[in-house]
């Protein structure tokens, strides 16, 4: 692997971010969300989920680096 994890993770989200937005737009305009409450719940789930997935990649990278450091000490 020539690139570090952070740059690959950011590139992945640069590609998947617009696809995620397109999916959200398709659901939003499909008529499935009937009430303002439905729309609010949808946004309160989708936006934090995207951010959580993005941040979890850095948590995984940190844990992996920690495990590798411990393994190299042995």
Q: What is the pLDDT along the chain (74 residues), one digit of tens a residue?
A: 566 888 888 898 999 999 999 999 999 999 999 999 999 999 999 999 999 999 998 898 888 888 888 888 87
pTM of the model as a whole: 0.73
pLDDT at 22: 96
CA angle, residues 22, 23, 28, in degrees to nearest 5: 95
**CB of 46 closer than 8 Å to CB of 24:** yes
pLDDT at 6: 83
Query: Tokens for 57?
Result: 């990649």
**CB of 50 closer than 8 Å to CB of 20:** yes
pLDDT at 1: 54
Measured in whole angstroms, how far is the alpha carbon of residue 71 from the centre of its chain? Answer: 29
């Amino acid at each position: 692997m020539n690139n570090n994890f952070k740059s690959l993770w950011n590139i992945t989200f640069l590609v998947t971010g617009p696809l995620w937005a397109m999916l959200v737009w398709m659901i939003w305009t499909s008529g499935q969300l009937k009430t303002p409450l439905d729309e609010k719940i949808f946004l309160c789930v989708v936006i934090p989920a995207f951010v959580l997935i993005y941040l979890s990649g850095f948590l995984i990278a940190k844990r992996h680096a920690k495990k590798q450091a411990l393994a190299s000490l042995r």
